[in-house]
Amino acid sequence: MEQNANASKKLIGKVTDEERSTIKLLYEKKNGLVELAKCLNEANMHLYDRITTDLGSVTIDFNNWWSEKSEKYQWENTLGYQWEIQFETGDIFLVRQG
């Protein structure tokens, strides 16, 4: 476990390779849709409804994954902190927000 002097990042768990792959895919989809939405202009606004619908669905799935895994693994949860995954290892950290 690696922590800095401010203890702003704390290793709190690990997920399976399958769980890691699932959240990585959701993360990439979510970021891709956000970037796509930034590229919209009047000429392609017909895509807006589709993108926002897909982004809403992916965001729900993304948040549900975190909720389900935090309950399954009983991860520590502290006000002012959020969970973060290291995709290479599947390690879960509690990280100070801001």
For the chain, the structural domain boundaries read: 16-77
pLDDT in tens, the chain (98 residues): 344 445 689 999 999 999 999 999 999 999 999 999 888 877 787 888 899 999 999 999 999 999 999 999 999 999 999 999 999 999 999 999 97
Phi, psi of 2 (to 5 degrees): -115, 125
Confidence at residue 20, expressed as pLDDT on a 0 to 100 scale: 98
Which residue type, as a one-letter code, is found at position 57?
A: S
> Around Cβ 33, how many Cβ atoms within 10 Å?
20
pTM here is 0.86
